[in-house]
Copies of this chain bind each other. A is one copy, B any other.
Amino acid sequence: MSAKRTPIILLLFMFLTITSSHKYKGNKKLYKPCKNLVLFFHDVIYNGKNAANATSAIVGAPQWANRTILASQFHFGNIVVFDDPITLDNNFHSPSIGRAQGQYIYDTKNTFTAWLAFSFVLNSTDYQGSIQFIGADPIMIKTRDISVVGGTGDFFMHRGVATIMTDAFEGEVYFRLRVDIKFYECW
């Protein structure tokens, strides 16, 4: 009896060791997403001339700036509200499967850094529901991680991490983000 139990105890011990390294080293390589989505969204900033096509607008700025053109000093302090189309590929003219809605803020004085808080509202045959995102976005770095803090509908109670990449950037008017959403808590 005792001889048979030993291996089980060893296995348990190994399991506890792995669990503990999870908890205290944040080694995310040990985790596989329970769901994965790659989506693109397209932001056309209002510049005083493109009201018909714009999907976002500056709505707050520091005292030294205005709300038509992004502020100097790396756009520091600009708050932009957006309602951007979401597509399955990187083509601006592809059918939209939902909207990215929320705000971004430029928040560094000496480089381009943004802070994001927004939702994906998906409405397609494959996905119905919303996903909530928050995080810092150091734009000049190739890939940036933000947090997926909640969801509704098909994404009920989901949490995870989203990796963002600037897929295109055209002057101060258009950019496109690639969002690789990895859910680790799916329900």
B residues near A103, Cβ cutoff 8 Å: 79, 105, 115
The verdict on A95 contacting chain B, using a C-beta distance below 8 Å, is no
Contact B22 A186 (CB under 8 A): yes
Copies of the polypeptide in the assembly: 3
* Other-chain residue from B81, B109, B130 in contact with A136 (beta carbon distance below 8 A): B130
Report whether B154 and A138 are in contact in the complex, using a CB–CB cutoff of 8 Å.
no
Query: What distance in Å separates the Cβ of A84 from its nearest Cβ neighbour in chain B?
Result: 10
Q: Do A117 and B134 have beta carbons less than 8 Å apart?
A: yes
- Which stretch (A3-11, A59-67, A86-94, A168-176) binds chain B? A59-67
How would residues 131 to 166 of chain A score, 1 for a CB under 8 Å from any chain B CB and 0 otherwise? 010111010000001111111111111111100000
Residue of B78, B115, B158 near A102 (CB, 8 A) is B115
Q: Smallest CB-CB separation from A138: which chain B residue? A: B121
Distance of A156 from chain B, by nearest CB (Å): 4
Q: Is A12 an interface residue (CB 8 A)?
A: no
Q: Is the interface of A mostly helix, strand, loop or mixed?
A: strand
Residues of A in contact with B, size category? 35 or more
Closest 7 pairs (CB-CB, A-B): A147-B150, A145-B152, A60-B60, A26-B154, A59-B60, A57-B62, A63-B67
- Excluding A22-B186, A60-B60, A82-B107, 18 further A-B contacts by CB distance (< 8 Å) are A26-B151, A26-B155, A28-B157, A48-B63, A51-B64, A57-B62, A59-B78, A59-B79, A63-B68, A79-B79, A99-B136, A101-B108, A102-B136, A103-B115, A119-B134, A132-B147, A135-B152, A147-B149
